A = this chain, B = another copy of it.
Amino acid sequence: MTRKNADGGGRSTIRDVAARAGVSAATVSRVLGGVYPVSTATRTQVLRAVRELDYVADARAKAIAGAGTPTLGFVLDDITGPSFALMAHGVEREATRLGHLCLVCSTDGDAAHESDFIETMRAQRAAAVILVGGGADTPEYRSRTARFADALAAAGSRLVLCGRPPLDPGAPVTVIEYDNEGGAYALCAHVLSRGHRRILFLGGEPEHTTAQGRERGYLAAHHARGVEADPALRLAGDFTRDSGYRSMRRALETGLDFTAVMAATDMVAAGALTALREAGVDVPGEVSLVGYDDIPFARDLWPPLTTVRVPYEELGRLAVRTALRSAGVGDEHLLLGTHVVVRGSVGVVGGGVSSAG
């Protein structure tokens, strides 16, 4: 059984085209390849054969022979989260703009998946692999990731951490992050400045780097104001709407004492808001609420959510640009700024109701 078929199958090879055009495979390669000198007559012949056979060169073969489209791998927790999606979009757009292909994989927070995928990207000889979003920061994680970074670097590739803090210095990684802690600090300072002293923190998984950064900002702001942060006011969870809803209900049932809540993400804030409303608590009249991320509909909640703006898409774009540039060894580190967006969900303690800006 032969593989060749002369009619319009996609399975035809460069030799089929050559045969049909009455030239050599090399010539076909040349006309297809671009600007190599080929006579107009042959070029026409070849192009006709290509069209008739509906020939498309095998990219894998090209790649292995030296030409070929470079590929970029990116892995994220869950494309479903709005902020992840924004970063992914930035990565994808910039990559295709630069003529790269994109391989994706979502890990659902599973570190083993992450390892597997990095290995796969290595096998694909990806020009860079981008880890999008925070992750669990354990010692195992750090050493494993550092190993990957080395392996990738040794192969002329590159590991990029996008929205995740650097590994130990010296590891050949590119990191593009935003000022997670700084944003949380500013946000919490804003809430404190309105007189709140007992602020419930609805956090993420304890080892998640993003959650940690935001909690550090929360703590630092308290410290700077000389306000003691009651540990009982810090609840763990994850970054989903449902987690926010559940945590808030629990806090309410437990009879926790607080006048404001700072949610780790806008999604968490959305869930918390609903729980608050169901309990008949007025926001921001009785309890103030802030989120983090400034996702598109943060302004569509009622009251419009005060939150922290993060340049997620920019982050993704920069990640690929920087990765592709800094192909050499050495680590690179970019830190993007954030800013708080004041809307109407924070009230003055014991005072008026709204603080829209």
Contact = CB atoms under 8 A, between A and B. Distances in A.
Interface of A: 8-11, 54, 56-64, 68-69, 78-80, 82, 85-86, 88-89, 92-93, 96, 101-106, 108, 113, 119-120, 122-125, 150-152, 154-157, 240-242, 267, 270-271, 273-274, 277, 296-297, 299-302, 304
A277 B302 contact: yes
A89 B57 CA distance: 30
A57 B62 CA distance: 17
Contacts of A9: 154-155
Nearest to A73: B101
Contacts of A299: 274
Contacts of A302: 277, 301-302
22 contacts: A8-B151, A9-B155, A10-B122, A10-B154, A10-B155, A11-B154, A11-B155, A56-B151, A57-B123, A58-B123, A59-B120, A69-B120, A78-B89, A79-B85, A79-B88, A79-B89, A80-B82, A92-B104, A96-B105, A101-B103, A267-B296, A302-B302
A160 to B, nearest CB: 16
Contacts of A296: 240-242, 267
B79 A106 contact: no
Q: Which of A60, A96, A108, A119 has the most CB of B within 10 A?
A: A60
B125 A106 contact: no
Contacts of A154: 8-11, 54
A56 B103 contact: no
A297 B56 contact: no
Nearest to A78: B89
A132 to B, nearest CB: 12
Nearest to A69: B120
Contacts of A61: 64
A123 B59 contact: yes
Given A56-B122, A267-B297, A297-B241, A92 B64 contact: no
A90 to B, nearest CB: 10
A104 B102 contact: yes
Contacts of A58: 64, 123, 125
A60 B124 contact: yes
A297 B277 contact: no
Nearest to A102: B104
Q: Which of A9, A123, A152, A304 has the most CB of B within 10 A?
A: A123
A274 to B, nearest CB: 5
A79 B60 CA distance: 27
Given A60-B63, A92-B106, A93-B106, 4 more contacts: A60-B124, A78-B89, A79-B89, A80-B89
